[in-house]
Amino acid sequence: ACTGKDEKDGAGEKDTSKDPGKDTEQTEDGEDAEEVEEDPNAGLDFPLTVTNTGDPIEGGELNFGLVSDTPFEGTLSPVFYSGAPDADVMSFFNESLFAYDGDYLITNDGAATYEVSDDNKSITIKIGDNVNWHDGEPVKASDLLYSYQLLGHPDYTGTRYTFMISNVEGMPAYHNGETTEISGIEVSEDDKTITITYTEATPSLLSGIWANATPRHHVGDVMTGEVTMEELAASEKIRTSPIGFGPFKVAKIVPGESVLYERNDDYWRGKPQLDSIVLKVVSSASVLEALKKGDIDLSSVPVDQYLNAKEIDNIELLAKVDLAYTYIGFKLGKWDAEKKENITDPNARLADKRVRQAMWYAMDNETIGKELYHGLRFPGTTLIVPVFASFHDASIETPTYDPEKAKALLDEAGFVDVDGDGFREDADGNELVLNFASMSGGETAEPIAQFYMQNWADVGIKVQLLDGRLHEFNSFYDQVEADDPKIDIYQGAWGVGSDPDPSGLYGRTAAFNYTRYTSEKNDELLAAISGEQSLDTDFRAGKFKEWQELMVDEVPVAPTVFRYALTAANKRLTNYSIEPGTDLRLWQWGVTE
């Protein structure tokens, strides 16, 4: 299964998620055009590719704006980095060994090719001959092995020791320090081929396999004791002089502020078009000014600035639906650290699913999407984002804004306003006051929280902000994660990575299952989704449908909105596309006069 990512919902997009799961390179690829048409807001027709088809000039320079209100941290290694801004910085010089198609599945167009064994349990990867690190050393199979050795290392403190790593044969033994060999990984004689064998066959293989190599010769070898894990994580080789085999190489870094990339003439696909790329951190507040002035050519655009972005003449807006959804979570239990599983409390305040359904019905997400985001967000439906066309079930009827329905449900559940203060009491006549935790950040966070509380108040549910304030991203998740008893409901967001498997977010043993919702049925469906049988896509789709239905009925979380991600590109940019699986890759990007 794949872990989801916490994502900060809000226009600021201060994305400092703890576990982005996948490379940005992958998430940058999107869904097909047809899927966009499925959306209720299909009227917002954004191009995925820039219209400028002019010939790129020689020696062009691109200014990339990294929109973040916090600077990038500069841990430029796929193994060790933690923040999304670092992923953005890495994307220019570091690439995955594989290319991905529009369904986020690996293809053979990348630096390496692969072959899956018949029993689906092992994969053989062959690295192309002309793939060289920036320092000229060839990329070796043992470099990929090194990544696995680091990720599974007993001293590894990062967060990427996930299912797809531990599922490698022999990995648990290695991880526990019982052996220094990973039995499931075999490197060929010529160091160009590597075979990875898994304990369990899983449908996630083609989307979830780790395929980032680590230049062992450059950063130093932990296995031989050349460096320690701690030294490695703090090493200059990762922080200020990292290398990869991508189309550009890092020429200079002003920590936290900007990066200068130069063309990698030795790039395996050929000579990149651009001469250099300058990456600059720009705050969400000033990104539009920077775009307008031409200080930056390319950047994401915070949704709340969409209307202003539209007015800027020298840029073009591209957009696609994001691999993410925002939701309201209902706290239903606790995480049992001993057993390492979620325990649902049948006496939780929101144990009655009718109340949860009512709260979903009460939320006017349509207005938020239309008025606040001008259509760039639209009401969420099921927990599988529409991007995954084969698994998302658009036919399920999900609650939409209907206060009357909500009131009816609440009445039915026995919550009525007995003392006439406009708010409902529970069956025993106790006042029902729910504590709502929500994140700060972005200009819209506060009004949205207020808006939902009003929505709920309209149907008679008294909701107040936890501690009377919005909580900062980290402390918010700390509290949610710790099952702070003060929290009844919370607003969160998940970035779902490229593998739609929801086990990591909703399974009985998933720590990220913050609502602590569990049920037999859920266990059964999730097991089926990630089980061997699911190698059959139709079977898997069926189970996905069942699961989505279950979730809509049980409402451990109520999805609020799906979203578009906006990208602004200067009109001089050519050969640029945000289309998933596009043929226009970074090395081909160019600028015209």
The full DSSP string for 564-590 is EEEEEEETTEES-B--TT-S--GGG-E
What is the rounded CA–CA span in Å between residue 34 and residue 387? Answer: 10
Q: Which is nearer to another protein, 19 or 501 (CB)?
A: 19
Does 286 bind another protein (CB under 8 A)? Our answer is yes
Minimum separation from the CB atom of position 53 to another protein (A): 28
Q: What is the DSSP secondary-structure string of 387-416?
A: TSTTT--TTS----S-HHHHHHHHHHTT-B
Name the segment binding another protein (CB under 8 A); options: 378-386, 388-396, 446-454, 527-535. 446-454
Shortest CB 451 distance to another protein, Å: 4
Task: Scan residues 345-404 and list those touching another protein (CB under 8 A).
Answer: 367-368, 371-372
Residues, the chain: 593
Among 179, 454, 519, 537, interactor with another protein by CB under 8 A: 454
AA letter at 580: P
For residue 74, state whether it binds another protein (rule: CB under 8 A).
Answer: yes
* Shortest separation between residue 182's beta carbon and another protein, angstroms: 18
The answer to the question of residue 123 lying near another protein (CB under 8 A) is no
Contact call for residue 459 and another protein (CB under 8 A): no
Taking the complex as a whole, the smallest distance from the CB of residue 521 to another protein amounts, in Å, to 23
Decide whether 142 or 438 has the Cβ nearer to another protein. Answer: 438
Query: Looking at beta carbons only, is 29 or 88 nearer to another protein?
Result: 88
19 vs 31 by CB, closer to another protein: 19
Give 144's contacts (C-beta < 8 A, 6+ positions apart).
97, 125, 127, 194, 211, 212, 213, 214
Touching another protein, residues 224-283 (CB under 8 A)? 233-234, 239, 252, 254-260, 278, 280-283
Q: Which is nearer to another protein, 435 or 440 (CB)?
A: 440
Q: Is 313 in the site for another protein (CB under 8 A)?
A: no
Distances, alpha carbon 242 to alpha carbons 156, 217, 233, in Å: 19, 12, 12
The least CB distance from residue 259 to another protein, in Å, is 7
Nearest to another protein of 293, 521 (CB atom):
293
> Which residues inside 157-196 make contact with another protein, applying CB under 8 A?
157-159, 161
Span from 285-293, 343-351, 534-542, 573-581 in contact with another protein (CB under 8 A): 285-293
CA separation, residue 585 to residues 29, 107, 123, 267 (Å): 11, 14, 26, 12
By C-beta, is 366 or 546 nearer to another protein? 366
Q: Note whether 484 binds another protein by CB under 8 A.
A: no
| CB of 26 or CB of 258, closer to another protein | 258
Binder among 70, 107, 314, 582 for another protein (CB under 8 A): 70
CB of 353 to another protein, least distance (A): 26
Q: Which of residues 11-50 bind another protein (CB under 8 A)?
A: 16, 18-19
CB of 350 closer than 8 Å to CB of 532: no
Handedness of CA 245, 249, 252, 254 (dihedral sign): negative
Q: How far is the CB of 257 from another protein (least distance, A)?
A: 5
469 is a site residue for another protein (CB under 8 A): yes
- SS3 of residue 202 by DSSP: coil
Going from the C-alpha of 158 to that of each of 41, 77, 124, 502, 515, the distances in angstroms are 39, 11, 26, 22, 24
Binder of another protein out of 465, 527, 541, 584 (CB under 8 A) = 465
- SS3 assignment, position 125: strand
Note every long-range contact of 110-115, with CB atoms under 8 Å and residues 24 or more positions apart, other chains counting: 111/139, 111/245, 111/268, 112/211
Position among 34, 118, 313, 338 found at the interface with another protein (CB under 8 A): 338
Size of the site for another protein (CB under 8 A): 71
Contact 384, 500 (CB under 8 A): yes
DSSP secondary structure of 473-508: HHHHHHHHHTT-TT-SEEEEEEE--S----HHHHST
Restricted to residues 81-110, the positions that interact with another protein (CB under 8 A) are 82-83
Q: List the beta bridge partners of residue 274.
A: 60
**Three-state secondary-structure class, residue 372:** helix
Q: In the set 313, 337, 347, 420, which binds another protein (CB under 8 A)? A: 337
Q: Which stretch binds another protein (CB under 8 A): 180-188, 303-311, 420-428, 553-561?
A: 303-311
**How does strand 557-570 pair with strand 315-330?**
antiparallel
Question: CB of 290 within 8 A of CB of 515?
Answer: no
Stretch that binds another protein, among 41-49, 133-141, 185-193, 473-481 (CB under 8 A): 473-481
Round to whole Å and give the CA distance between 268 and 251.
19
Site string for another protein, 414-443 (x = CB under 8 A): --------------------------x--x
In the complex with another protein, the residue whose CB is nearer, 265 or 478, is 478
Residues 501-560 that bind another protein (CB under 8 A): 511-512
Q: Give strand pairing partners of 301.
A: 566
Of 276 and 592, nearer to another protein (C-beta) is: 276
Give me the least distance between CB of 501 and another protein, in Å please: 17
Write the single-letter amino acid at 542.
G
| Separation of alpha carbons 267 and 261, rounded Å | 14
Span interacting with another protein, options 203-211, 300-308, 322-330, 345-353, rule CB under 8 A: 300-308
In contact, 577 and 49? CB cutoff 8 Å: yes
Please tell me the distance from the alpha carbon of residue 194 to that of residue 113, in angstroms, as a whole number: 11
Q: How far apart are CA 207 and CA 264, in angstroms?
A: 28
User: For residues 132-151, which are near another protein according to CB under 8 A?
Assistant: none
Q: Which of 295, 524, 546, 549 binds another protein (CB under 8 A)?
A: 295
Q: Rule CB under 8 A: say whether 54 interacts with another protein.
A: no
